[in-house]
């Protein structure tokens, strides 16, 4: 019953999405206020229907309703509740429902918060969002019904992949989708601007917060996925250049570029056409990722059920949305005259450089990901493009990007001079050089990590130099505090995000110096690794809700004092007849102490111990980047939209 209601809610959402497309777009073309005004209520209705469908899906998973095929395939009564619920979006059908729900949430937010949006622009944005939602709802209804029944119902579900029972993986997809779908909103703004044939500062002001929010969520989602790979796979890897990882990196790179070029549109009304193209690209890459993961054209661990039928449908959607948007771009783009001149050495110039480098990186990743597939198709050649290609191709782009990242925010708009900027950055450069040399001195001739430390310190100190300059810390220290209070939050956010990347680089550089040790140990024995003594105390049996395990107790000591006690486990899941290893990780500021229990033989247990220097900083940095995005979102410019303040000013003038 609940399942059928959920299915009905999906159908209702589809109809509402169609109405949300047709009425406002038609109304905007005909300048009909009533039709345009229908956009908001329709978007809210559409949101309600999607929420009902998702609620129904959660319900059938929560009660383990085995008459639903999806539950049978992906759930089991012995799973803890969190993973039953996470199972609802851990499969193809359910994740599509989550996708449309998040899209509807974005539409609802545009309708709700966009009171000051020009009516026609708002109607067009909501119309385009409705069109995107309608396509994906149709996809769910036609090819991927999450509520399909099976009769007679089996006694219990089959889905108990223990590798996927993990909090990191439970929240990885929703965050990633928030990012992907957030770019649907910037896409809608870009298409609406093309329909109107106009891009102005106000448009940039509306696009930027959405790009920021989407970017922040995508950053968190990617970081969470990489963190999962790190502690689940457990030999110190955190990024593998897997095609599906690349698919999430592409919209991130395009989104990062969009974020920066939208600033130029907002402040200087330049780079308009380029920004529109980036907005189309960011969402295009998101859809491309969806297509690659779900169609079966590539072979990856992340891939959902591979089904060429579904692939053709998603490809149709991809071609319709992206091809349509690019056609519109080719038609309306040339008419948008370039405005806002600036010299190459200026803030705008710096942001253009940023865009060029980020887009080149995106092109490298795109080519590296797709080339094997196209080589196979066109030349019948099997090639594989692996980490060596990406590492060597991305590094030359990263070096100038990092160098320019610290200097860019210090450049002035329109026309800048290089010398004053370098003058303000000399101590950051000194710090970076010190870090580089110190690393070479302490860790031997390891160029990679040394460069990483240098770049990290350069970015962090560069962000500090930017802030210090803005609050005139050294020129007028007395007034610095009050100036800090008056500094726009966007400036704080930008500095924080740049420093966040520096923190991530610190972690990556530290991981370059990680050490590990593998040995068979008997209880009571100990080994030395990374300046610590690791002592195996005992190995015993343990029981969990749906598994039994062997659990080791490893005491880690430093100078005779206990630092931590680790409990690595090997878990056996009777239902799936499979074994997983649960690494025990002690996270500290200086790095991770990481222990993995292997097989036991003749009273000795094989233990793999890692000292991962600075590892947590990789994800801490991502968190800081996302936090920077969030702080930037609370900027006054965004909270108080320009038209509203103009109106307030007009009212004040009248009074």
Partner 1 sequence: MSLTSRRALMLAPLGLAVAGGAGFYGMLRGIGTGSYDPRGVPSVLIGRTPPDFALPPLPDSGKSGFAAAELRDLPGPVLVNYWASWCVPCIIEHPQLMRLSREGVPIWGINYKDKPRDAGAFLARHGDPFARLAMDEPGRVAIDWGVYGVPETYFIDRQGIIRWRWAGPVTPEVLDGDIRPLLRRYA
* In the complex, least distance from residue 298 CB atom to partner 1, rounded to whole angstroms: 5
Length of the chain: 655
Q: Name the residue nearer to partner 1 (CB basis): 243 or 408.
A: 243
CA dist list (Å): 529 to 368, 471, 535, 593, 609:
38, 45, 11, 10, 8
Q: Name the residue nearer to partner 1 (CB basis): 159 or 621.
A: 159
Q: Name the residue nearer to partner 1 (CB basis): 217 or 321.
A: 321
On whether the CB atoms of residues 229 and 240 are closer than 8 A, the answer is yes
* In the complex, least distance from residue 297 CB atom to partner 1, rounded to whole angstroms: 5
Q: How many helices and strands, by DSSP H and E, does the chain display?
A: 22, 10
* In the complex, least distance from residue 550 CB atom to partner 1, rounded to whole angstroms: 12
* In the complex, least distance from residue 8 CB atom to partner 1, rounded to whole angstroms: 31
* In the complex, least distance from residue 72 CB atom to partner 1, rounded to whole angstroms: 15
Output the six-digit token pair for 37: 């005004």
Alpha carbons 418 and 412: distance in angstroms, whole number: 10
* Angle, alpha carbons 416-420-424 (nearest 5°): 125
Alpha carbons 97 and 247: distance in angstroms, whole number: 20
* In the complex, least distance from residue 219 CB atom to partner 1, rounded to whole angstroms: 22
On whether the CB atoms of residues 259 and 215 are closer than 8 A, the answer is yes
Burial level of 561, CB count in 10 A (0-12/13-18/19+)? exposed
Q: Name the residue nearer to partner 1 (CB basis): 299 or 412.
A: 299
Alpha carbons 290 and 295: distance in angstroms, whole number: 8
Q: Name the residue nearer to partner 1 (CB basis): 327 or 395.
A: 327
Query: Dihedrals φ, ψ of 403, to 5°?
Result: -60, -45
On whether the CB atoms of residues 452 and 487 are closer than 8 A, the answer is no
On whether the CB atoms of residues 141 and 14 are closer than 8 A, the answer is yes
Q: Name the residue nearer to partner 1 (CB basis): 385 or 406.
A: 385
Q: Name the residue nearer to partner 1 (CB basis): 323 or 488.
A: 323
Residues in contact with partner 1 by CB under 8 A are: 163, 229, 233-235, 237, 240, 242, 273, 277, 280-281, 284, 291, 295-301, 308, 311-312, 315, 318-319, 322-323, 326-327, 329-330, 333-334, 370, 373-374, 376-378, 382, 384, 516, 518, 576-579, 581, 596-599, 606, 608
Q: Name the residue nearer to partner 1 (CB basis): 233 or 399.
A: 233
* In the complex, least distance from residue 575 CB atom to partner 1, rounded to whole angstroms: 12
Neighbours of 652 (CB within 10 A): 8
* In the complex, least distance from residue 608 CB atom to partner 1, rounded to whole angstroms: 5
Strand-pairing partners, residue 571, are: 549, 580
Q: Name the residue nearer to partner 1 (CB basis): 202 or 224.
A: 224
- Tell me how far apart the terminal alpha carbons of the chain are, to the nearest angstrom: 60
On whether the CB atoms of residues 470 and 605 are closer than 8 A, the answer is no
* In the complex, least distance from residue 382 CB atom to partner 1, rounded to whole angstroms: 6
């Amino acid at each position: 019953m609940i399942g059928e209601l959920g299915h009905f809610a999906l159908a209702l959402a589809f109809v509402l999405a169609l109405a949300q497309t047709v009425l406002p777009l038609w109304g905007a073309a005909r300048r009909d206020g009533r039709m345009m005004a229908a956009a908001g209520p329709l978007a809210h209705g559409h949101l309600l229907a999607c929420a009902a469908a998702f609620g129904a899906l959660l319900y059938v998973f929560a009660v383990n309703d085995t008459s639903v095929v999806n539950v049978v395939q992906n759930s089991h009564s012995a799973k803890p509740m969190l993973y039953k619920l996470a199972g609802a979006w851990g499969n193809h059908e359910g994740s599509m429902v989550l996708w449309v729900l998040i899209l509807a949430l974005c539409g609802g937010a545009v309708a709700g918060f966009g009171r000051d949006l020009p009516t026609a622009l708002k109607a067009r944005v909501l119309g385009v969002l409705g069109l995107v939602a309608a396509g994906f709802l149709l996809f769910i209804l036609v090819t991927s019904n999450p509520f399909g029944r099976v009769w007679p119902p089996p006694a219990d579900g089959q889905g108990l992949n223990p590798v996927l029972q993990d909090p990191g993986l439970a929240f990885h997809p929703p965050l990633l989708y928030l990012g992907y779908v957030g770019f649907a909103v910037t896409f809608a703004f870009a298409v609406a601007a093309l329909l109107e044939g106009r891009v102005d500062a106000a448009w940039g002001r509306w696009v930027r917060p959405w790009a920021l929010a989407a970017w922040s969520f995508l950053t968190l989602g990617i970081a969470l996925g990489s963190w999962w790979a790190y502690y689940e796979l457990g030999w110190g890897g955190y990024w593998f250049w897997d095609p599906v990882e690349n698919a999430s990196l592409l919209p991130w790179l395009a989104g990062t570029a969009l974020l920066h070029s939208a600033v130029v549109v907002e402040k200087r009304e330049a780079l308009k056409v380029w920004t529109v193209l980036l907005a189309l690209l960011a969402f295009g890459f998101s859809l491309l990722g969806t297509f690659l993961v779900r169609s079966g054209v590539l072979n990856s661990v992340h891939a959902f059920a591979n089904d060429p039928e579904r692939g053709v449908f998603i490809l149709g959607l991809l071609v319709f949305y992206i091809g349509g948007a690019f056609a519109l771009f080719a038609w309306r783009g040339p008419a948008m005259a370039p405005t806002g001149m600036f010299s190459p050495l200026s803030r705008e110039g710096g942001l253009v450089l940023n865009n060029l480098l980020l887009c080149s990186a995106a092109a490298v990743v795109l080519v590296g990901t797709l080339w094997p597939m196209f080589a196979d198709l066109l030349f019948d050649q099997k090639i594989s493009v692996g980490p060596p290609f990406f590492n060597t191709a991305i590094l030359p782009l990263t070096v100038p990007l990092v160098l320019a990242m610290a200097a860019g925010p210090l450049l002035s708009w329109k026309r800048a001079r290089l010398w004053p900027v370098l003058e303000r950055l000399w101590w950051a450069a000194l710090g970076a050089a010190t870090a580089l040399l110190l690393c070479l001195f302490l860790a031997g001739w390891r160029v990679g990590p040394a460069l990483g430390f240098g770049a990290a310190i350069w970015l962090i100190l560069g962000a500090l130099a930017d802030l210090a300059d803005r609050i005139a810390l050294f020129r007028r220290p007395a007034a610095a505090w009050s100036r800090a209070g008056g500094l726009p939050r966007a400036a704080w956010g930008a500095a924080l995000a740049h420093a966040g990347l520096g923190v991530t680089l610190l972690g990556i550089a530290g991981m370059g110096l990680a050490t590990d040790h593998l040995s068979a140990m008997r209880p009571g024995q100990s080994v030395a690794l990374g300046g610590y003594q690791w002592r195996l105390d005992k190995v015993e049996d343990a029981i969990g809700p749906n598994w039994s395990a062997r659990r080791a107790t490893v005491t880690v000591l430093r100078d005779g004092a206990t630092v931590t006690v680790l409990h690595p486990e090997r878990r056996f899941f009777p239902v799936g007849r499979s074994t997983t290893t649960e690494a025990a990780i002690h996270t500290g500021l200086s790095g991770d102490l990481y222990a993995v229990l292997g097989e036991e033989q003749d009273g000795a247990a094989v233990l793999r111990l890692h000292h991962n220097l600075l590892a947590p900083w990789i994800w801490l940095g991502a968190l800081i980047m996302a936090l920077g995005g969030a702080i930037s979102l609370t900027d006054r410019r965004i909270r108080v939209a320009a038209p509203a303040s103009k109106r307030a000013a007009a009212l004040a003038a009248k009074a």
